[in-house]
Structure 1
Amino acid sequence: MLDLAEKRARALLGRWQTRSLGVVRAGAAAEFARAVGESAPRLVDPAHPAFVVHPMYVVSVLRPEPGADAGELRRDGMYRDEVPGTDGLDVRLMAGGQEVRWADDVRVGDRVEVQRALTGVERKHADLLLLTVVKKYFAERGILVEVTERFIVR
């Protein structure tokens, strides 16, 4: 299975895909902040005069409202297309690290799009594949966040 995942991933190298993540809503951003343990009113109370969107909120959004249907999910709960080259394969997936670079604040009302490309495929051992994915999050005014994620495929 790992050989097939590697072959599929290599075929996807450098291909950019764009997906709309919808409009940033204050209630959803506040709910996220509470879920990650924030308690500062400026992060968890949309009525607070200094309310701001948590910096990691947009990075956590993988689909626009209302979310995914069951056909988009793997048995392990991840989205089928989240780790390029692995859809439908019986492989184990693990997070292998994440780097986040902020360019601008995410604001309530921003219509966000994400561009994503697989930028690296490395065979580490006979039983391990390391995939690198770059994601760029945009609003109309420009780039908001750039994320480099690594996934371990076994």
Structure 2
Amino acid sequence: MAEVCARAARLRGRAERVRLGEVTVRDLCRYAIAVGDDEYAAAARAAAAAGRPVVAPPMFLTSILSWQDGPPEGELRPDGLGAQESPCTEGLPVRQVHGGQAVRLLAAVAAGMTIHAERSLTGADRKRGRAGDFVVLGLRTEYFDGSGTPLAVSDESVIVLGDADEA
């Protein structure tokens, strides 16, 4: 766990801004169907066919773990995450679980918008529990449209678990 904290100290406060891409009606419908909102998907397709704007479900942006195709299965970590979703832990014998998320929705997202995200590590707290040491990483992701208008902010925690002697 000491190595996770050392890596976090080097990354803390450093923001990485990436262009995620353009939101499509197909993306929104896939998300809606995945969360069981078939009615939204049908209404979105009808709105798009009629030339009306299609506004995303509120949690769409913050629910997407990765906007890339994803790594091949052989490149996934033992906990199922890709390297991009695993800050401070590459090559370490640890696993991660999501600890929680607080989301602020600032503006509507619609199909056709180009989305950018800025992600930063906000903290790393080493703790001790019954099963041993663990680290709680704080992550912030801010989402913007192509003109820089803030859309949403997500503050989340990731719990890094492992054997203190190994990490």
Per the alignment, residue 81 of structure 2 pairs with 78
RMSD: 1.8
Per the alignment, residue 54 of structure 1 pairs with 57
3-state secondary structure, aligned to 1:146:
strand
Structure 2, unaligned stretches of length 5 or more? 162-167
Maintained 8 Å contact 1:83/1:151: no
Structure 1, unaligned stretches of length 5 or more? none
TM-score of the superposed pair, with normalisation by structure 1:
0.88
Distance 1:17 1:47 in 2: 34
Per the alignment, residue 112 of structure 1 pairs with 115
Identity %: 34
- 4+ residue runs of structure 1 moved beyond 4 angstroms? none
Per the alignment, residue 153 of structure 2 pairs with 146
Higher helix share: 2
Superposition deviation, residue 10 in structure 1: 1.3
Maintained 8 Å contact 1:123/1:129: yes
Superposition deviation, residue 72 in structure 1: 5.9
Tell me the alpha carbon deviations over residues 69-110 of structure 1, each in whole angstroms, 9 at most, x when there is no partner.
Answer: 327632322121323201121102011110010000111011
Q: How many residues align?
A: 150
Tell me the alpha carbon deviations over residues 13-61 of structure 1, each in whole angstroms, 9 at most, x when there is no partner.
Answer: 0000011111001011111111111132xx2123223743111222123
For 1:149, the aligned partner's letter is E
TM-score of the superposed pair, with normalisation by structure 2:
0.82
Per the alignment, residue 87 of structure 1 pairs with 90
For 1:148, the aligned partner's letter is D
* CA spacing shift, 1:146–1:72, aligned 2, 3 Å: farther
